[in-house]
């Protein structure tokens, strides 16, 4: 009998919940608040698309993609957007001469989700199960 404590899918669920809530609450939600309060956007433009587009792209990744990972919807795809965001953040931090520990931790987590997907406890799994019927 398989133990529920040592279940890979349960581990993926806990990991998804943890990484998505930490990203959303620590980074995405504050940026969403800034977006909706109408304050002037002061943000870096590390990829050369402009300050406002860069900010919108980061809000998309850190807020919306985090929620998508939380519920397990299109996990592999949205993990790529967060991976890219964290890769850019890593290079920005390195450019400042700082060690990008936090962005590297997130980046590693998003690589894991791109490889493993969301697991059985996810909307992705529900949708793929319905397609098999």
Residue with the two structure tokens 């909307």: 123
pLDDT digits (tens, 9 = 90+) for 78-100: 999 999 999 999 999 999 999 99
pLDDT tens for 6-28 read 789 999 999 999 999 999 999 99
Give the Cα separation of 21 and 64 in Å (integer): 11
Contact 32, 59 (CB under 8 A): yes
The secondary structure of residue 38, as a DSSP letter, is: T
* Those residues with Cβ within 8 angstroms of residue 3's Cβ, 6 or more apart along the chain or in another chain: none
pTM of this prediction?
0.89
**What's the token pair of residue 68?**
């998508």
109's tokens: 């987590």
21-23-29-30 Cα dihedral, nearest 10 degrees: 140
Residue 34 corresponds to which tokens in the numbers above? 């800034």
């Amino acid at each position: 009998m398989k133990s529920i404590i040592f279940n890979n899918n349960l581990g993926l669920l806990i990991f998804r919940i943890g990484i998505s809530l930490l990203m959303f609450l620590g980074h995405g939600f504050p940026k969403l608040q800034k977006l909706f309060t109408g304050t002037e956007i002061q943000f870096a433009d590390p990829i050369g698309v402009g300050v406002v587009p860069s900010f919108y792209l980061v809000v998309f990744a850190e807020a919306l993609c985090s929620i998508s990972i939380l519920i397990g919807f299109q996990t592999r795809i949205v993990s790529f957007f967060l991976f890219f965001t964290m890769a850019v953040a890593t290079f920005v931090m390195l450019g400042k001469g700082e060690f990008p520990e936090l962005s590297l931790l997130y980046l590693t987590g998003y690589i894991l989700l791109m490889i493993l997907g969301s697991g059985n406890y996810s909307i992705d799994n529900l949708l793929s199960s319905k397609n098999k019927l």
